[in-house]
Amino acid sequence: MGFLIDSVMSALQLVFSADPELMEIVGLSLKVSLTSTLIAGSLGIPLGFMIGFNRFRGKSVVITLLNTLLALPTVVIGLLVYTVISRRGLLGVLNLLYTPSAIIIGQVILILPVITALTIAALSRIDDRYRRTALTLGADRFQTALAVFREARFGIVAAAVAAFGRVISEIGISMMLGGNARGFTRTMTTAMALEYDKGEFVLAVGLGIVLLTISLGMNTLLNYFQGRYAE
Amino acid sequence: MSLYATRELKKRYNGRTVLDLPELTIAENGMVALLGPNGAGKTTLLHILAFLLQPSSGQLWFRDHPVSFNSRDLHRLRRQVVLVEQHPILFSSTVARNIAFGLKMRRLPRPEIARRVTESLDMVGMRDFAGVNGRHLSGGETQRVALARAIACRPRVVLLDEPTSNVDAENRMVIEAIMRDMRDADRSAIIFCTHDLIQAARLTRTHLHLAAGRLNGDDDENTFPSAVYRDDHGYHGLIGDRFMVRLPSTPATAIRVRIDPRRIKIAKPNTVVHPSGGGTGRIIQMVEDGDSVRLTVDVGVPLTVILTRRAYRDLRPWIGDAVDVCCPPEALSIS
């Protein structure tokens, strides 16, 4: 018990003294996760919108596939991307392996189905009268889609927040594609795993505190947006 | 020029025909009441007339131009017609922004938008609500804002789906007054559906009656399913559970009987015999309808009877009076 309290106290000291190594790791994690959320969002939101807003043959199959992809394990993605970007892979010449870009590619693949599926879900909860009202008031197809998007905005933001929460806490992709190189690809989760292996708990607990704080912030945001959406 | 015309227009859902209009013409101006019970196809027809729903077959003309529902620029046609739904929905922004929506779609200049928003809000008596979020309005207020949103676009046609069915008495009066103002301003033709005959009579003399997806013609709302019985005197149709009419022909076992409300005779009880069938009923509603008086007589089903002013003066009926109702053969048609 005393050991745990000592670790937590030292970790808190580390956090509040803005330890450079800790800050560097947190900064890189945030940068990588925000970038992958941004990329996946700018692909997944329009994709979800196209699938959710239009009627086409095989729509339910597409949605089922997307929902299946939600359960894709990070190690499978890590392996898959590794085979493509490793030196012998299709994109080996780009030397992406063990760079932050490699982590971002993997994370985008991880959360693209999340954002797309949640966008479709958010749209499906939007009353069809919004679409009809926009049309009857003279909106063309694009303007109608924008009007519906506006009504679904809180649900879509919630989708992005949920996706960010997923990538900031994942470890498989960061470890397999980033390689946990100090000062270059070391993220909060990979650093914690390493510190644990070393038996150095202070930094690990410090990072855990930061990660939990970020998760708490994200969930507060998520609840806020979902609350606004459900109003 | 007609506003709308249809030929062999049909709408089917899952193999069931919900609307079947071999021919319908709606005149260019004025106000039309679309009457009929729930499930008669009124809303389906309004959605087709608003170009929001594609008919399964047949042709629709709008102002003498054939309408192509597959056309990419259907929204150009839609800009001439605005539908206000039975349960209108407001976008989650202020009342003023809701009303400005259609005007922005039409790319009107800002000062013109502001002017029309104020003008429309004044017309529905909601000026003080301009800055209120649409979500925080009551049902009646929402209906009024939805009306203002339609009026602001100044469309060629405003379609109203049961505009007063979900509002309290006070808002119903306000909405009817707005509809009268719209009619008198004569900027837009108005087609509204209702199942309230009295309301239709109050607002316009042009009535269309829909029943089971088919048009019954003007002033011909008395259409009832009827069971057929035979005795020594011929065939009889039982309407409701106690109103029996003598049928002019030999029909099939299940029929629909249409009784022309202008040809029904009513009299004080026990003053006439019913050689052609009929029964007794009680007057439950009376309303002035142009040169006539429209009565609703409860004969087990609500039967509409239209009396000339002279017949009305001769009979001097009161609400609650028991009357003999007689349906001569020429008043009946069978389908």
Q: Which stretches of chain A score pLDDT less than 70?
A: 1, 228-231
Residue B283: give the domain boundaries.
223-334
Mean pLDDT score of chain B: 88
CATH code of the domain in which B191 resides? 3.40.50.300
Which of B215, B245, B262 is the endpoint of a domain?
B215
Q: What is the pLDDT of residue B100?
A: 97
Band (B42; pLDDT cuts 50, 70, 90)? very high
CB contact under 8 A, A138 and B50: no
Residue of chain B whose Cα is closest to the Cα of A137: B102
CA distance B133 to B94: 4
Which of B165, B194, B215 is the endpoint of a domain?
B215
The answer on B109 and B139 residing in a single domain is yes
pLDDT above 60 for B194: yes
Mean pLDDT of B81-95: 95
In percent, how much of chain B has pLDDT > 70?
96
The answer on B50 and B119 residing in a single domain is yes
pLDDT above 70 for B220: no
CB contact under 8 A, A135 and B105: no
The answer on B330 and B263 residing in a single domain is yes
Which of B170, B191, B215 is the endpoint of a domain?
B215
Q: Which residues contact A53 (CB under 8 A, 6 or more apart)?
A: A123, A145, A148
CB contact under 8 A, A137 and B89: no
pLDDT above 90 for B145: yes
In the sheet that holds B207-211, the strands lie side by side as B81-84, B157-161, B189-194, B31-35, B207-211, B214-215
**B144 Rama sector, left if φ>0, alpha if ψ -120 to 50, beta otherwise:** alpha
Of A127, A141, A150, the CB nearest to B89: A127
B5 to chain A, minimum CA–CA distance in Å? Answer: 20
**Number of domains composing chain A:** 1
Alpha helices in chain B (DSSP H): 42-49, 74-78, 95-105, 110-123, 139-152, 169-185, 197-203, 309-315
Between A201 and B8, whose confidence is greater?
A: B8
* Chain A residues with beta carbon closer than 8 angstroms to that of B153: 137-138
**Number of domains composing chain B:** 2
Q: Is the dihedral of CA A75, A80, A81, A87 positive or negative?
A: positive
The answer on B298 and B197 residing in a single domain is no
Q: What is the pLDDT of residue A150?
A: 92
B200 to chain A, minimum CA–CA distance in Å? Answer: 24
Please answer whether residues A49 and A149 qualify as being in contact, where contact means their C-beta atoms are separated by less than 8 angstroms: yes
A138 touches chain B (CB under 8 A): yes
* Chain B residues with beta carbon closer than 8 angstroms to that of A136: 50, 52, 78, 81-83
The answer on B227 and B198 residing in a single domain is no
A133 to chain B, minimum CA–CA distance in Å? Answer: 8
Residue A108: give the domain boundaries.
2-230
Of B79, B87, B92, the CB nearest to A151: B92
pLDDT above 80 for B18: yes
Strand partners, B78: none
Of A136, A150, A151, the CB nearest to B50: A136
Q: What is the pLDDT of residue B219?
A: 47
Q: What is the pLDDT of residue A166?
A: 92
Band (B62; pLDDT cuts 50, 70, 90)? very high
Give the best residue of B91, B97, B108, B136 to mutate against chain A (max A CB count within 10 A). B91
The answer on B309 and B176 residing in a single domain is no
CATH code of the domain in which A173 resides? 1.10.3720.10
CB contact under 8 A, A138 and B153: yes
CB contact under 8 A, B88 and A133: yes
CA distance A157 to B262: 62
Mean pLDDT of B287-314: 88
CB contact under 8 A, A130 and B89: yes
Mean pLDDT of B285-297: 85
In this prediction the ipTM stands at 0.76
The answer on B193 and B92 residing in a single domain is yes
* Chain A residues with beta carbon closer than 8 angstroms to that of B149: 137
Least confident of B44-58, B120-134, B233-247: B233-247
pLDDT above 80 for B252: no
Q: Which residues contact A141 (CB under 8 A, 6 or more apart)?
A: B75
